[in-house]
Amino acid sequence: MDKILRINMGADGGPKAEAEPVGSYAGMGGRALTSAIVSKEVPPTCHPLSEDNKLVIAPGLLSGSAAAMSGRISVGCKSPLTGGIKEANSGGQPSQMIGRLGYAAIVLEGKPKDDTLYRIYINKDKVEIKADKSLKMLGNYAVAEKMKAEYGDKVGCISIGPAGEMKMAAASVAFTDMEFRPTRHAGRGGVGAVMGSKGVKVIVVDDAGCSVRSPKDADRFKEANKAFVAGLRKHAVTGQGLPTYGTNVLTNVINEAGAYPTKNFMWGRFDGCSKISGETQAETENTRGGEGSATHGCHRGCVIRCSGTYYDKDGHYLTKQPEYETVWAHGGNCGIDDLDTIAMLDRLDDDYGLDTIEMGATIGVAMEAGIAKFGDAQAAISLVKEVGKGSPLGRILGNGAAVTGRVFGVERVPVVKGQSMPAYDPRGVQGIGVTYATTTQGADHTAGYAVTANILGVGGSVNPLKPEGQIELSRNLQIATAAIDSTGMCLFIAFAILDQPDTFQALLDLLGSFNGQKLTGDDVVGLGKSILTMERDFNRRAGFTKEMDRLPDYFKKEKLPPHDVTFMVKDSDLDQVFNW
């Protein structure tokens, strides 16, 4: 991947594409590259929907190679939701394809001078940019079908739904999966709104005629890949729990721990938990049957296969297997205990192009405001449909929980830097509370997944209900995560590499043999620190202060049942997370 494709959507005479050498960004991929370009090239104080913002789509360092688990992709920009730097991560097919086309990144720059909507087609020979009014306000599923009819099903699509066109701050960017369904999303931070502001509805990526990226040391790479896969398969989480029950295996675990946010973070346990757990979900999917029902990969080369396919009661495809955070957001957080309802909400979110976490949290806030009752499944569906229609209420909801809370006068709004918290109450998992508060990304569990040591006993054990040890835990995980997000690797490899030194060494050998280097753990730490330093510098220049690295006050005041604890990590300690 030795070039960057820059597409200026506001060029004189119409959009223009130009490939340039990767230059000073050489050796970067994924989150490292998106954050480097945004930090260096985007004015920190610009409006996120202005021509000055840029949308950067970057495969990982190993994407396009034969390395297992390497098909993740990063989408970066200045976030319309947080006002700071953003990296949203997704699976799907396009990452591998972009890597094989030789692009380290696709950068959308400028913006059209009118409301023309464009589609972009990229193959090894050309970049074609066409105005296409027929795509206006189509859902992601309809867009994928139109592209498949024209280009076949061997390409990949990157698209936005109506939410992105309407520039809603909860809008996602969709990536097609192996079945050419738009089920994989760079969900967080409103990246879909930025793509919409550029006038781009869909990017079709075609890697026909391109070969798999070759490592510098083929024999060493092959051995490392073999050892890496073996390590993933022998770990209890990546080899058994996730393939069998998907990410939703966590529902019963977190509920039992008393950290499952229920009814807009009122309680730590949900009475209807067993009805929507991973075990119940897998049983439902297996009973209904259908191709890829309970075990499925989000991209080729995935060996964990934590995804699945959800069919309705009549055996018709409805959506991909809703993930843990989605089941929580539209389930327990809203007092809903029906999997079919949750699956329908997931389908609507994917089609409209919405972050399921943000939408579930937003509906929870709306329910607390009295817009609907907790547990009212049909009301939740109706509210998401309002977002898809772009009604006045829908536009409020589509801009996230913080906006919704302000509009309806709700005090208890679970956000940091404007972004909704995911499916772990920070009082019941104090380490994840540190991550929520301090990450550059706004409240985000993946930025430093302290659930590993706080709840699962992976990579050590830190008491989830005490403040001691949480700063160090979150700091180390944020550093490691930033590095992993740059490789194109799925973050779930962390379970195995934290517990198994030989699997971590296999990952180092995989990266090193591909690039003809010898890497150490210190190199990984150095990469992670450099990324976080760039991101924090951008946010500082955008006006962020240490006082923004805090949880809402009510988490320090309201005790969470059943443990009756508050968030106890001191503000002065939060200020030490990045003090390395």
**In terms of domains, do 360 and 399 share one?**
yes
pLDDT of residue 236: 87
Range 126-151 average pLDDT: 98
409 domain-assigned: yes
Domain boundary among 393, 423, 453: 423
**In terms of domains, do 17 and 141 share one?**
yes
pLDDT band for position 292 (50/70/90)? low
**In terms of domains, do 365 and 443 share one?**
no
Q: How far is CA 418 from CA 189, 403, 421, 525, 567, in A?
A: 9, 8, 10, 29, 19
pLDDT band for position 490 (50/70/90)? confident
251 domain-assigned: no
211 domain-assigned: no
**Residue-range definition of the domain harbouring residue 549:** 216-245+426-580
pLDDT band for position 294 (50/70/90)? low
pLDDT band for position 15 (50/70/90)? very high
Domain count, the chain: 3
Q: pLDDT, tens digit, for every residue of 323-349?
A: 999 999 999 999 999 999 999 999 999
Domain boundary among 397, 423, 449: 423
536 domain-assigned: yes
Q: Give me the numbers of helices (H) and strands (E) for the chain, helices first please.
A: 24, 16
544 domain-assigned: yes
Range 377-390 average pLDDT: 98
Range 461-487 average pLDDT: 96
For residue 511 the two structure tokens come to: 């990266």
Residue 36 has pLDDT above 80, yes or no: yes
**In terms of domains, do 434 and 417 share one?**
no
Write the CATH number for 441.
1.10.599.10
Is 556 strand, coil or helix? helix
**In terms of domains, do 19 and 156 share one?**
yes
How high does pLDDT run on average in the chain? 95
Vertex 345: Cα angle to 279 and 341 (nearest 5):
55
d(CA 175, CA 157): 6
355 domain-assigned: yes
d(CA 108, CA 51): 10
pLDDT of residue 286: 87
Environment class of 219 (CB within 10 Å of its CB; exposed 0-12, middle 13-18, buried 19+): exposed
Residue 477 has pLDDT above 70, yes or no: yes
Range 46-62 average pLDDT: 97
Residue 298 has pLDDT above 90, yes or no: no
**In terms of domains, do 275 and 372 share one?**
yes
Residue 243 has pLDDT above 90, yes or no: no
With CA atoms as reference, report the closest residue to 177 among 162, 201, 158, 191.
158
**In terms of domains, do 381 and 508 share one?**
no
Write the CATH number for 316.
1.10.569.10
pLDDT band for position 1 (50/70/90)? confident
**In terms of domains, do 412 and 473 share one?**
no
pLDDT of residue 242: 84
Range 353-374 average pLDDT: 98
Residue 210 has pLDDT above 70, yes or no: yes
CA Rg value for the chain? 22
pLDDT band for position 185 (50/70/90)? very high
Domain boundary among 423, 439, 470: 423
Backbone angles phi, psi at 548, to 5 degrees: -85, -10
Q: CB pairs under 8 A, 24+ apart, for 37-40?
A: 37/76, 37/105, 37/107, 38/76, 38/77, 38/78, 38/85, 38/86, 38/538, 39/85, 39/534, 39/535, 39/537, 39/538
254 domain-assigned: no
pLDDT of residue 244: 81
pLDDT of residue 516: 87
**In terms of domains, do 187 and 108 share one?**
yes
**In terms of domains, do 32 and 136 share one?**
yes
- Residues 368, 409: contact at Cβ < 8 Å? no
Bridge-based pairing of strands 3-8 and 103-109 is parallel
Q: Provide the residue type at 154 as one letter.
A: K
d(CA 192, CA 352): 10
Q: pLDDT, tens digit, for every residue of 522-555?
A: 999 999 999 999 999 999 999 999 999 999 999 9
pLDDT of residue 191: 98
d(CA 521, CA 543): 33
210 domain-assigned: no
Write the CATH number for 174.
3.60.9.10
**In terms of domains, do 307 and 167 share one?**
no
**In terms of domains, do 437 and 568 share one?**
yes
